[in-house]
Amino acid sequence: MSACCILFYIGLLAPTLIYLIKVLLTMYGPRWGIVAPQAFQMYVGVNSIYVAKTAYVAFCLPVFAVALGSLLRNIESHRWISWSNLAYLATLPAVFAVFYAENIKNGVAYGLALLLVFLLLVVTSLFKGRWVPKVLLSLIILVASVFFLNIHLQQNDSWKTFGADAKVALNTSQYQQWKYDEVNGYPNNEYGVVVSGTNYLRVAWAKEGIRLIIQNPLGYGLVERSFGRLGKIAWPDSKLHQSHSGWIDLTLGIGVPGVALILGAILVLLLQLSSINPVFGVFPWVKACQWGLFCLVLMWCTTEISQKVYLDSLIFWIALASGISLAPWKLGSNRI
């Protein structure tokens, strides 16, 4: 593994490690006789420093995707016994532990979606040799994923009523509580139960956000909270901010042409990266960029991420992938 690859991966993994270390020191440090400095403690309560769930998804999910892509590359190269594989496998439960501790549903959903893609790619490579370890690895990951999914579903009843809640949310003209973000409460679903706020708002905001895009194809001009500004114009008494979809919010900000350029760049890069020959030394970076970009496309679908450093991160990945695709012969070793 080249030094650049190691440093890059450690940088991606750092947010997850920092979170887990702080949680362990805060919860178990006193039992172990460890008095951690305040900077290493996880604050809780009204006086704590608030970190939005968006941040955990934005900075923990990419390393999850890169770990899967790198693990897949090693499997395709028949490198089963290596320290790097151990690091990649350890990354998966570490990231899921963060999502579980913070109860981040879209993080769990995207993580499982990435795992499903990974397993499908492993299965399609069974006839390329060494199918026994591939099957065993797939079964281990599948069983662990099902176990974790079962725990997550028990923790979140809102998944069970998503269909019923979505029906109510799509009827935005009759039920208009989505305009006021909890101020006027929520309607009941077909079971006579109050809809889950998460389900109801995400679906209703997505529908109305798409409608605003159709009405304003060139956008409002703000990367962050154009949904709320346009909502004030359409519904003056509304209390809207973001649509909970990064792509919808960004389109409302920079317009359909702007987002088309970004998505077009990602699509072109994915095609270019897939055409790079594995013999080039840049190939470890190719897999990282492919899975990183794919992860970002998913992440931006239902995460309020069209803002601040999260947009910077998207541009960073596009720029990194662009450099990798243009100069494959100039970068380090092909071993990782």
Say if residue 143 is in the same domain as residue 178: no
Please state, in angstroms and as integers, the Cα–Cα distance from residue 294 to each residue in 117, 287, 300, following that order: 11, 11, 10
CA 296 to CA 251: how far, in whole Å? 16
Say if residue 89 is in the same domain as residue 1: yes
pTM above 0.85, yes or no: yes
Say if residue 148 is in the same domain as residue 49: yes
Say if residue 192 is in the same domain as residue 285: no
Residue 245 has what pLDDT? Answer: 93
Counting as low any pLDDT under 50, the low residues of the chain are 330-336
Written as six digits, the tokens of 93 are 């439960």
Give every CB contact of residue 327 below 8 A, 6+ residues apart in sequence. 282
CA 154 to CA 311: how far, in whole Å? 33
Say if residue 147 is in the same domain as residue 111: yes
Residue 137 has what pLDDT? Answer: 78
Say if residue 197 is in the same domain as residue 237: no
CA 61 to CA 137: how far, in whole Å? 21
Residue 103 has what pLDDT? Answer: 87
- Tally of structural domains, the chain: 3
Say if residue 55 is in the same domain as residue 18: yes
Say if residue 53 is in the same domain as residue 193: no
Range of the domain at 286: 219-336
Say if residue 131 is in the same domain as residue 6: yes
Say if residue 289 is in the same domain as residue 190: no
For residue range 137-178, list pLDDT tens digits in order.
778 888 888 888 788 777 777 788 888 889 999 998 888 889
Residue 327 has what pLDDT? Answer: 64
Residue 253 · residue 223 · CB < 8 Å: yes
